[in-house]
């Protein structure tokens, strides 16, 4: 397959782009040209092929070790549905973790690497618009990332066959993983247009991904004191004056106490952009998330946890029921209804934020490739 590059007309004296080709001009031919050029370069790269093979082997080993470990623990792989859910959630989490490590390397050197090699200017003097160059490079990086995801699908199917997970969940998982990898590639592309060194753009991409994956959840935890208030709450408590040294069981009654209440519903949005939360919350689980989380399904744990945080809990509390005295339970049935966790989705908010980050990366990259450039950093190679 041949790829033709048309040389652009000289730029007008007023500093604009060649006539008929604006900064954001797009055509299928231009996108295809850049994408094919990038993919050919990657296919010829032995390092990329080696990384793909290593990825396949590592994910396979983790899947087999996880399956074997749970098979030994449970002793019956076919009858325990939660077994399949646990293995599936572990494999999905591991694939996402590896994807967040690999994806930045696929795009963080796409622009500054070509600029340092003197090949970027060759594309810029053609009729290709800056948008076509950037989106073509993004498409190539995304396709390369999807190749790693496709290599993981057999192991996701293997884990799914264990039971406890539907085929719709697999489709949702693959779709969400693909979108998250695309966002990371777009972020890396933006930094590659801003920073002259490929190592610098890679570090900034990792820091950004680490920020939404680790820093925001840490902030969510650190803000607990700031979102905790003292309020008067109805409490199902033991009768006033009762001491636990008595031999008779206490009577329970409603009282009002000043209680520290954590309003997690005010800061739940800090958890939403986390890629693991996005993937987990989008899963159509087979059963109640709270029950599945008790069985060890990590996707259910994340889904239930983030939705519980969004719900908050400032209702009445039970401080009396369930205590055991001399073998007798103090009022086994509690009058306090359990918190009804919201069924409102969290992942659209998180994915929307992540997509905005990716879009910002693309916009920055396109603006940095405008020709002629008003100002370049000192030492930047043009051709």
What element of type H or E holds 69? Answer: helix 46-74
Looking at the structure, tell me whether residues 182 and 245 fall in a common domain. no
Task: Evaluate whether residue 7 is within a structural domain.
Answer: no
The answer on 231 and 169 residing in a single domain is: no
Could you tell me which of 284, 302, 280 has the C-alpha nearest to residue 293? 302
DSSP for 250-288 reads PPEEEEEEEEEEE-GGGTGGGTTT-HHHHHHHT---SS-
Same domain, 146 and 40: yes
Residue 76 belongs to a domain: yes
> What is the per-residue pLDDT for 236?
85
Pair 213, 231 in one domain: no
How far apart (Å, rounded) are the C-alpha atoms in residues 75 and 51? 35
| Number of Cβ within a 10 Å radius of residue 299 | 27
- Tokens (6 digits) for 283: 């899963």
The phi, psi pair for 231, rounded to 5°, reads -135, 155
Q: Are residues 205 and 294 in the same domain?
A: no
Q: Identify whether 22 is part of a domain.
A: no
Residues 169 and 315 in one domain: no
Tell me, yes or no, whether 105 lies in a domain: yes
Q: How far apart are CA 169 and CA 223, in angstroms?
A: 33
- What are the 10-residue block averages of pLDDT along the chain, 383 residues in total? 48 46 84 91 78 92 87 60 75 93 91 86 85 94 94 89 79 95 96 91 95 96 94 86 72 87 93 96 74 70 90 84 62 76 91 96 92 57 52
Domain count along the chain: 2
- Give the structural domain span for 69: 28-219+351-368
Per-residue model confidence (pLDDT) at position 77:
44
Residues 197 and 236 in one domain: no
Q: What is the pLDDT of residue 143?
A: 94
Q: Do 91 and 195 fall within a single domain? A: yes
Same domain, 66 and 205: yes
Do 211 and 89 have their domain in common?
A: yes
Same-domain check for residues 199 and 235: no
Does residue 272 sit in the same domain as residue 160? no
């Amino acid at each position: 397959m041949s790829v033709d590059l048309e040389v652009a007309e000289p730029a007008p004296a007023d500093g604009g782009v060649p006539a008929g080709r604006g900064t954001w001009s797009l055509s299928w031919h231009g996108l295809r040209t850049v994408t094919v050029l990038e993919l050919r370069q990657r296919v010829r790269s032995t390092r990329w092929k080696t990384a793909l093979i290593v990825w396949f082997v590592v994910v396979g080993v983790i899947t087999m070790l996880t399956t074997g470990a749970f098979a030994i623990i449970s002793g019956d792989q076919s009858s325990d549905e939660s077994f399949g859910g646990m293995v599936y959630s572990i494999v999905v989490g591991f694939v996402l973790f590896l994807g967040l490590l690999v994806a930045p390397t696929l795009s963080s050197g796409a622009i500054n690497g070509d600029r340092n090699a003197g090949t970027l200017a060759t594309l810029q003097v053609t009729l290709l618009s800056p948008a076509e160059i950037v989106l073509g490079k993004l498409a190539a990086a995304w396709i390369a990332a999807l190749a790693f995801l496709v290599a993981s699908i057999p192991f996701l199917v293997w884990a799914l066959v264990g039971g406890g997970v539907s085929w719709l969940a697999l489709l949702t998982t693959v779709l969400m993983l693909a979108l998250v990898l695309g966002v990371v590639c777009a972020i890396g592309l933006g930094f590659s247009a801003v920073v002259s060194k490929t190592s610098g753009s890679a570090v900034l991409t990792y820091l950004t991904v680490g920020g939404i994956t680790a820093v925001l959840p840490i902030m969510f935890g650190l803000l607990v004191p700031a979102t905790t208030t003292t309020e008067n709450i109805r409490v199902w408590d033991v009768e006033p004056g009762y001491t636990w040294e008595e031999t008779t069981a206490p009577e329970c009654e409603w009282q009002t106490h000043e209680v520290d209440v954590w309003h997690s519903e005010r800061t739940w949005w800090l958890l939403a952009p986390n890629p693991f939360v996005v993937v987990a919350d989008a899963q159509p689980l087979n059963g109640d998330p709270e029950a599945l989380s008790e069985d060890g399904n990590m996707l259910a744990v994340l889904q239930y946890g983030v939705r519980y945080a969004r719900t908050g809990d400032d209702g009445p509390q039970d401080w009396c029921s369930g205590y055991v005295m001399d073998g007798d339970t103090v009022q086994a049935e509690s009058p306090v209804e359990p918190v009804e966790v919201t069924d409102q989705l969290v992942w659209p908010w998180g994915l929307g934020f992540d997509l905005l980050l990716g879009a910002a990366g693309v916009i920055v990259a396109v603006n940095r490739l405008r020709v002629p450039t008003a100002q370049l950093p000192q030492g930047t190679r043009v051709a």
